[in-house]
Amino acid sequence: MRLILTDADMAEGLDYLERVDPRLVPVRALAGPVDIRYRPPGFEGIARIIVAQQLSVSSADAIWARFEALLAAATAENYLRQSEEALRAAGLSRGKVRTLTALAEAASAGLDLEGLAAETPEVATEKLTAIHGIGRWTAEIFLLFCARNADVLPAGDLALQVAAFEALALQGRPSEKELRAISELWSPWRGVAAKLLWAYYKAMRQGRNVLPV
């Protein structure tokens, strides 16, 4: 199981993607540097993913700062000591409070959240999605950013679908199923492809849409 641990791993993956799919050559040029972006596994790492769902980066960062200040340390034990009112006042929706509560209770009941990073993607996904409120997207984001798996692409991610539509000159935004099919070509570096497409999406929306000379 390949992992994205170093800049050399990222470069190897990007070079591979350019060889197997020449459409990604200009995408890489437009995207600029592709960051690894790592979050330690465990309650804090998964909680960050849940908090950030369906929010802008700035909104997610603001809510996380209040959440972390409330808990003092983002652990399952500290989370379960908080009232729902305090968590809602920090900016969490009721749905996210329920999901984080289920996650914290699973950890307190013995689920090794740190150990999930060493599991196969199939096992880790099965254990995470068994928790109320956690779906495949959350599990795949965990595998990509916390477990650093090199071959996971969260095809249900809207930004990835839009980036693939634009970067690959598709006729329409691909569905989750269609993007999974497209990404088969990029294996075993689908995780690098995901990070490349996110970098491309961000660069295009920041006005860096001209090929470097």
Give the pLDDT of residue 212.
34
Q: Is the preceding omega at residue 154 within 30 degrees of 0, hence cis? A: no
Tokens, residue 17: 């993607």
Domain range annotation of the chain: 7-36+151-205, 43-145
Query: For 46-92, how does the pLDDT look when each residue is reduced to its tens digit (9 = 90+)?
Result: 999 999 988 888 999 999 999 999 999 999 999 999 999 999 999 99
Task: Say if residues 76 and 183 touch (Cβ distance below 8 Å).
Answer: no
Q: Average the pLDDT over each of 3-7, 158-162, 209-213 and give the range with the smallest value.
A: 209-213
Give the pLDDT of residue 207.
61
Share of the chain above pLDDT 90, in %: 91
Query: For 15-30, how does the pLDDT look when each residue is reduced to its tens digit (9 = 90+)?
Result: 999 999 999 999 999 9
Helix, strand or coil, per DSSP, at residue 75: coil
pLDDT score of 211 more than 60: no
Query: For 152-186, how does the pLDDT look when each residue is reduced to its tens digit (9 = 90+)?
Result: 999 999 999 999 999 999 999 999 999 999 999 99
Q: Name the CATH topology of 43-145.
A: Endonuclease III; domain 1 (1.10.340)
Among 173, 133, 170, CA closest to 157: 173
Tokens, residue 140: 């795949």
For the chain, give the mean pLDDT: 94
Region 106-132 average pLDDT: 95
pLDDT score of 113 more than 90: yes
CATH tag for 7-36+151-205 (out of 1.20.59.20, 1.10.1670.40, 3.20.20.70, 1.10.10.10): 1.10.1670.40
pTM over the 0.85 mark: yes
